[in-house]
């Protein structure tokens, strides 16, 4: 996973920094951190990450549309969420991770997302 380019979309500064630190510790390159849907989509188009870690509820709304757009751009998505159930199916996510989670669980979810065929 060393050198993998990842975008983080998370509106909690503490969680975003924790995720960023965990990923950087295993050699992942963070292409950007966004707190909202619009900023995340802009970063994805500008930086073309290979994978995105996306919280389902962001500062400017729910991320269902963002997940679909990232998938359509060829970016695999790992959804992280504090919700135990979802109002709509998340069919275009490569993996879903329930908060709270540990570093090993996050890395495993990224590995799972990378191993899935499109």
Output the pLDDT for position 47.
96
- Residue 89 is assigned to a structural domain of this protein: no
pLDDT at residue 19, as a whole number: 97
CA-CA distance, 31 to 96, in Å (whole number)?
21
In a domain, 114, yes or no: no
What are residue 51's DSSP bridge partners? 6, 76
Give residue 117's pLDDT band: very low, low, confident or very high (50, 70, 90). low
Answer yes or no: is 22 within a domain: no
CA–CA distance, 57 with 82 (Å, rounded to integer) = 9
What domain range includes position 70? 1-10+41-50+63-80
Q: Is the pLDDT of residue 35 over 90?
A: yes
Provide the number of structural domains found in the chain. Answer: 1
- For 88, residues 6+ apart whose C-beta sits below 8 A from its C-beta are 64
Length of the chain as a residue count: 118
Please tell me the number of Cα atoms within 13 Å of 104 on its side-chain side.
0
Distance CA 50, CA 113 (A): 11
Are 49 and 31 within 8 A, CB to CB? yes
pLDDT tens figures, 51-110: 999 999 999 999 999 999 999 999 999 999 887 666 556 778 898 898 999 999 999 999
Is 2 part of any domain? yes
pLDDT of residue 26: 94
Residue 113 lies in a domain: no
Q: Is residue 112 part of a domain?
A: no
């Amino acid at each position: 996973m060393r050198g993998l380019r990842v975008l983080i979309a998370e509106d909690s500064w503490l969680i975003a920094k924790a995720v960023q630190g965990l990923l950087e510790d295993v050699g992942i390159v963070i292409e950007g951190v966004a707190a909202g849907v619009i900023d995340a989509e802009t970063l994805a188009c500008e930086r073309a990450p290979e994978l995105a870690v996306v919280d389902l509820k962001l500062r400017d709304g729910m991320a269902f549309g963002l997940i679909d757009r990232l998938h359509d751009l060829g970016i695999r998505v790992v959804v992280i969420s504090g919700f135990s159930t979802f109002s709509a199916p998340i069919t275009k996510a490569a993996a879903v991770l329930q908060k709270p989670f540990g570093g090993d669980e996050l890395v495993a979810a990224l590995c799972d997302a990378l191993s899935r065929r499109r």
